[in-house]
Each structure stands twice: as C-alpha cells, then as structure tokens.
Amino acid sequence: MHRYFLEISYKGTNYHGWQKQPNVPSIQETFESKVEKLLGRKVHCQGCGRTDKGVHASQFYLHLDLDEKESNRIHKLAKLLPEDISLLSVNRLTEKRDAQLDVQTRSYQYYLHFQKDPFLASSSALYDKEDYKLDVLEKAFYSLKEVRDFEYFCKTPNNYKHTNCEIRELNFKIEKGILCLTFSADRFLRSMIRYLVASLLDVASQKISIQEWQSILKKDKKLPHRKEAFPQGLYLAKVTYPFLTNCSTLESKNLIFTK
C-alpha cells in the first residue's frame, strides 16, 4: 500500500461541510462513497481540515492508502463524482505523510459584493444594507498583520492549547464590484475568518471605530459583537506542504471577476 494525496475542489452549497455527520450530506461522505464504489472496499479519506456548512474549497487535499492496482484506477473517480466536486490531481508519496497534520500554510479567500446579483448568490456574500467605507475596511484588514492572538475571533477558544496564529500574507482586491479578502496563515481557529470578516464590516460601517478596532486587536477591549459572516463567500483557496511542489495558485477562483 502506498499513500496518495488527492487534490480536489468543491462547491459547498449543498453540503454540511467536509466532515461526516449523521443524517446530513457532507463532502467526506460523498467522496468516500464514490471511492468505495470504484474500489469495492471501505475507505477512510483524511482531509486537510474542516469547512463549515455552505463553505467552498478551490483547493483541498485528502490522503488515502492504495495498492498498485487501485492506484491505476483512481483517476476514474473524476467521472463518478457529482458536478459540485472535482478531482484535480493524484500525488503518490514516498512516505506516509498526513494531509491534516503536515500542512505548512493554508489560505482562505472571502468574496463579498454590495449589489444584488443572482449569478453571485451562491459564490459570494451579499452585503447591501450599509454604507461601507472600503478604505477604512482596507486599513483595518491590513492591521491584522500585527496580531498574534486571535482568541476574540474564535468560536471555541477553550478547545485549543493556545489561540496564536501567524498571519503570513494578506491581500485586499476589489474588481467589478466584488471584494476579495485573502488570508494566509500557519493555522486558523474555528470560524476565525468569518468572525474577522463580520467584525471588519462593522468597522467599515462605523459600528466599531478604527481606534476601538486597534484596542480590540491588542486585547485591551473586548469585541462588542461576536457574529459570523455568511458562509457562501468563504473558500479554502490554497493548501501547501513542504513535500508537494505542484500546489496550484490562488488564481482559479479569481475567475469570479471575469463575469
């Protein structure tokens, strides 16, 4: 048996996230059922992380072990998967690495738009009820580079040994009325991106002043409103490993701008 890393992408609209759960559809359950149909045996696919209900992935890795005969058939999986899940690549490893534990960097993108558009409804989050000041949002967004402790932006901080994260890259891009916020870090806490986006929008709508925002980031002041941004705008966009050199870029989801 050899370990394989499979690269996939999926639209999470019809699923309750990656992880299997009783009585609800998940990406993991759907994917494993198709692999089992192809191979004729039970399998467990270990994902690189979890995504929430309705959240998408432009790039997601999972690992499973296959023998030589099975590895020659695994590419046929692409035709068995539903339209909202795609197989992008199959990578054979020389040693048994873990898709979740060995991640070097994860990058998320959050897309939001400000005018109702039916073609964006399931792929970007609509925020049209406030007069958002995007220059203020951009300033507040880039100030995250100086933050290490994200306890206030975690849904379950007590579940972690610590709530420190190393932000490695931030990118603010707006084009054709669509704003894309990119966050890259060594790790992310539960619901961290959605809490951050919701809070940034409060800053942009002046519910939180930029001075208050700086105090919150320093933990001198508590976050006044703990809420999550809508799930449909969030994408796991890139996952990198030190032993994989063919990781694709963040450009795939940027096709949203070509509409």
Structure confidence by residue, pLDDT tens digits, 216-226: 999 999 888 88
Flag whether pLDDT at 251 surpasses 80: no
Average pLDDT (206-225) is 92
Average pLDDT (84-103) is 94
The verdict on whether 135 is a catalytic residue reads no
Q: What value does the mean pLDDT of the chain take? A: 92
Ordered by where they begin, the domains of the chain are 2-102 (3.30.70.580), 105-235 (3.30.70.660)
Flag whether pLDDT at 72 surpasses 60: yes
Q: What is residue 259's predicted lDDT score, i.e. its pLDDT?
A: 35
Average pLDDT (66-93) is 94
Q: How far from chain centre, in Å, is Cα 234?
A: 6
What does the pLDDT look like over 11-33, one tens digit per residue? 999 999 999 999 999 999 999 99
Q: How far from chain centre, in Å, is Cα 126?
A: 18
Flag whether pLDDT at 254 surpasses 70: no
Contact in structure between 9 and 88 (CB atoms under 8 Å): yes
CA distance 177 to 166: 30
**Active-site position among 52, 67, 135, 220:** 52
Contact in structure between 166 and 148 (CB atoms under 8 Å): yes
Q: What is residue 255's predicted lDDT score, i.e. its pLDDT?
A: 39
Flag whether pLDDT at 75 surpasses 70: yes
Flag whether pLDDT at 34 surpasses 90: yes
Which residues lie across from 183 on neighbouring strands?
108, 170
pLDDT class of 257 with cuts at 50, 70, 90 = very low
